[in-house]
Amino acid sequence: MKSVHVRQLVSALVSCCLVALGVVAASPPAGAAAAPILPGPFDDSFYTPPSPLPAGKPGDVLRWRPTVPLLNAANADAWQVMYLSTNAQGRPDAVTGTILVPKGKDPAAAPIVGYAVGTQGPAFKCTASKAMERGTLYDQPAINDSLSSGYAVAVTDYEGYSPATVPTYITGQSMGPAVIDSVRAAQNLPSARLAKSAKVIFQGYSQGGGGAMWAGEKQPSYAPELNLVGVVAGGVPADLTEVAKGLDGYIGFGFLAFAAVGLDAAYPDLKLDSFLNDTGRQQLSDAKKNACVAELLLNYSFKKISDYTTSNPLATPQWQARLAQNKLGANPPRVPVFQYHASTDEIVNTPQAETLHRTYCAAGVREQWKTYISDHATGILAGNADAHQWIVNRFTGAAAPSNC
């Protein structure tokens, strides 16, 4: 009970200090949705959505609190937020994320990068905002590049990261809105003081490359008011069926298992449990509680679907239909795209990403495609400098390159 009282006291003291300093009294940008006046809660209940969800629009801020990400405390103000979004079935949901605004810059003039993080893992402890606080988010160098250039960054945690829920991992129909609405939430948070008219770019690698590309495909119909000027996406899992073929029985099997769990969380009609054997039930249950990226690689390398199931769910009509709904390419972005990939990618195979590149080119997208001599894990580092320069050029209004 003492710890509960301590958290309550801390929350009350922080709230009073913020009010006294005028932090929460800043005027919101024109047209911004109302956000809660006081911050909190300051424990993990912050991640549990209210039930029922309040009425509102995607991007409305439900709660917020100040935070200090370990590796960028010196150059950015930061807030964690919970905001309204839309799940894979088109229903309202609540998603958490982190908003960062560079210090010493005029927020009203800052462009915004909607950053989609790569795979974190199914356990709640893996949540991207928690990783940022610990200083363990491997996407942080790319995020810091944007902050150093004077750009605000909105980082979604994606749907399902709470103590009692399961992430809808790799489900594009959920990731796209989560990325888009993190930017809307950044614009709606009064303390951030960002402009509704700010130029926006979606960026990400691996799962995040998929999330950024899904945001780009969905933006014209889902968020036409955003001033989107580009999409940067690396290591994109564009076709989940093709990606799965390269994971079953190989080093990245843990990501395939997590993808099955994520799709099942997004679509209860898939009934993953009915396909699992006792080993599958036990190990996937443990993964949901304990596994981050390291565990997905260490504990599941070279496993097979047949090790965990009585029959392969991916081959069924229900699963094939859901996989098809989460295949990129049907609605190409209407803005320039920089898509890159590791040439020897052992996790997200390169040919399916190159197929997406050709699809976009055929549809008239102004796209630059580039490969790097690297594997999947090092591909994010290999492409960071070019990705950041591409972002800088788009925000300054330079013409976008294309090698279609």
Residue percentage of the chain with pLDDT more than 70: 91
Q: How many residues are there in the chain?
A: 404
Question: Residue 35: which pLDDT band, with cuts at 50, 70 and 90?
Answer: confident
- Please state which of the ranges 19-23, 78-82, 188-192 shows the lowest mean pLDDT: 19-23
**DSSP assignment, residue 299?**
H
pTM of the full structure: 0.92
Give the chain's mean pLDDT: 91
Residue of 139, 182, 190, 188 whose CA lies nearest to 159: 182
For 333-338, what is the mean pLDDT?
A: 98
pLDDT at 139 over 50: yes
pLDDT at 305: 96
Q: Say whether 216 sits in a helix, a strand or coil.
A: helix
What pLDDT score was predicted for residue 69?
87
Residue 329 has pLDDT above 70, yes or no: yes
DSSP secondary structure string, 31-97?
TPPP--SS----SGGGGSPPSSPPS--TT-EEEEEE---TTTTTTEEEEEEEEEEE-TTS-EEEEEE
